[in-house]
Amino acid sequence: MKVLLAQFIFESNTFNPVPVERELFAARGTWLTGEPAVREWCRAADSQLAGSLAELEGVGVATHPVFVAGCGTPAGRLSADCFRAIGDTLIRELRAAGPADAILLHLHGAACAAGEDDVEGALLERVRRELGFTGRLVVSLDLHANVTRRMLHLSDAITAYRTMPHIDFHETGVRAARLVLRPAGPTVRVMAKVAALIPPTDTHHASGRFAAILAEARRLEGRPGIFDVSVFPVQPWLDVAEMGTSVVITAARDAGAAALAEGLARRWYDQRTEWQTGLRSWEDILAKLERRADGGPWLLVDSADATTAGAAGTSAEAIQRLWSRRETLPGEVLLWVVDPAALPALRSGAGARVGVQQVPIAGELVFSGEGRYRARGQAYTGQEFSMGEAVVVAAGRLRIVVSAAGALCADPAFYEGVGLAPDRAWAVQVKSLMGWRAGYAAPAERGLVFDGPGCASLEFARLPFTGERRELFPVNPSPAQPLSLWQST
């Protein structure tokens, strides 16, 4: 048996208007073609691709990993050029390594491009049409995928992460590989779509309501003929067609998957009035900051400006709130804002106004250079990222990072890359919803969640959703059609 593999991971936030160019992957993330380069990357970094290769090669399957692209940082829609380049590269590399018995693609499922709401569905269509591929096509997705009927129609089996924050890249790769190897016969794919948006801050895999949904999915997988049950609390900041949370089952034709998907989706929807954003007032946050957190820093969680949710990172909300307290805070507080225009002045030692709020800051320049780092926490371990050119300004107890670009900031290596020591800090700002819990191995209580300016607000009803997206809970507190069911033929 011969299997071709590729990985393209990117998540869009369609409320971020800035188009994404190939440079985001090539210069600040990963863009590799050719088997030797892709294999070397797999050895250095935790990934789905590495998990699949280990599983398939363990049973003697010939594998050919041909392309990997990713950046760890969601953003707006891919530009038309960038979208075309990704598709062209994928098809070219698969064609060069083919033909094969199966293709295994590790994708995100919430990527959008200029003029295309369903990037992954469009890529699968090109694989089927341009390569004329009729063999088994297995796909793994992020659990924030907005799963579409086209994705399910074109693939034979789909699986997804089972952790939030995501720390099961390898295991997901192993699971996807097993779907390549079995079942032997044809499958059906069933999707129950739920007309609801769930605050990502209330979807931890190990505790609470979401853990119960995941446990039920595992129980259903114990039934005969049910090969995979994946649940998708969708990336909420997508104003796109077919938008919604979903339950997806890959099964044998006669396994009764539709009723199982509908039952789990209904149970999930019935939780909706209990979902919590976890947002706190600044009064509450400032009071908490006076007290020592046990075993590590407080995490100042800037949810609306979360770069891990596709926001720009340009809000200086925390800097504004804490600037007047910079001499009296109990310990060092690490803060971050994206503002390329402020860099020249800050680099010369002068003060500058930073962020969309244009907050004036001044202090001692303690770092100037590229902010490049390799994640060392429980997620993206070993993968390398860059925030572009950056400075660090020290003012009282504040250490303010100003960078040229957004980046994955949920890992302590982000601040270490600019010479700071987050593990010893009193508080650390993260523009991340949940990833910080994996990056910093921190419990929920350590996070102080606030909602400033930014396009990833947890107050979904305030976002400019259009068309049928206005029918999603809680944008509409009582959607007319809470559940809809679809099954492949």
Span near Zn ion by CB under 5 A; candidates 116-124, 134-142, 404-412, 479-487: 134-142
Q: How far is the CB of 12 from Zn ion (least distance, A)?
A: 12
Q: How far is the CB of 378 from Zn ion (least distance, A)?
A: 14
Q: Which is nearer to Zn ion, 142 or 228 (CB)?
A: 142
Q: Which of 55, 117, 118, 142 binds Zn ion (CB under 5 A)?
A: 142
Q: How far is the CB of 193 from Zn ion (least distance, A)?
A: 18
Q: How far is the CB of 464 from Zn ion (least distance, A)?
A: 22
Beta strands in 303-378 (DSSP E): 333-338, 352-354, 359-361, 364-374
Q: Which is nearer to Zn ion, 55 or 142 (CB)?
A: 142
Q: How far is the CB of 5 from Zn ion (least distance, A)?
A: 20
Beta strands in 135-209 (DSSP E): 136-141, 157-160, 188-194
Span near Zn ion by CB under 5 A; candidates 84-92, 138-146, 197-205, 450-458: 138-146
Site for Zn ion in 226-255 (CB under 5 A): none
Instruction: Kindly list the distances between the CA atom of residue 253 and the CA atoms of 151, 185, 227, 296, 488, in Å, as whole numbers in the listed order.
Output: 18, 10, 11, 51, 10
Q: Which is nearer to Zn ion, 399 or 431 (CB)?
A: 431
Of all residues in this chain, which one has the CB nearest to Zn ion in the complex? 144
**C-alpha triplet 5, 157, 95: angle, nearest 5°:** 30
Residues 274, 209 contacting (CB under 8 angstroms) = yes
Sequence-distant (6+) residues with CB within 8 A of 246 are 146, 147, 191, 192, 193, 194, 231, 232, 234, 265
Q: Which is nearer to Zn ion, 25 or 237 (CB)?
A: 237
Q: How far is the CB of 432 from Zn ion (least distance, A)?
A: 11
Site for Zn ion in 26-45 (CB under 5 A): none
Q: Which is nearer to Zn ion, 169 or 414 (CB)?
A: 169
Span near Zn ion by CB under 5 A; candidates 143-151, 273-281, 360-368, 401-409: 143-151
Which one-letter amino acid corresponds to residue 402?
V
Instruction: Tell me which H or E stretch contains 323.
Output: none
Q: How far is the CB of 74 from Zn ion (least distance, A)?
A: 9
- Determine, following the binding rule CB under 5 A, whether residue 170 of this chain makes contact with Zn ion: no
The strand pair at 2-9 and 102-107 is best described as parallel
**C-alpha triplet 138, 205, 387: angle, nearest 5°:** 80
Q: Which is nearer to Zn ion, 120 or 156 (CB)?
A: 120
Q: Which is nearer to Zn ion, 116 or 142 (CB)?
A: 142
Instruction: Kindly list the distances between the CA atom of residue 28 and the CA atoms of 70, 110, 371, 403, 414, in Å, as whole numbers in the listed order.
Output: 9, 20, 10, 13, 13
- Determine, following the binding rule CB under 5 A, whether residue 144 of this chain makes contact with Zn ion: yes
Q: What is the DSSP letter of 428?
A: E
Span near Zn ion by CB under 5 A; candidates 139-147, 178-186, 404-412, 470-478: 139-147
Number of residues forming the site for Zn ion (CB under 5 A): 2
Distance CA 50, CA 174 (A): 9
Residues 267, 249 contacting (CB under 8 angstroms) = no
Q: Which is nearer to Zn ion, 144 or 446 (CB)?
A: 144
Neighbours of 270 (CB within 10 A): 10
Q: Which residues pair with 249 in a beta bridge?
A: 190, 229
Q: How far is the CB of 167 from Zn ion (least distance, A)?
A: 11
Residues of the shown chain interacting with Zn ion in the complex, contacts defined by CB under 5 A: 142, 144
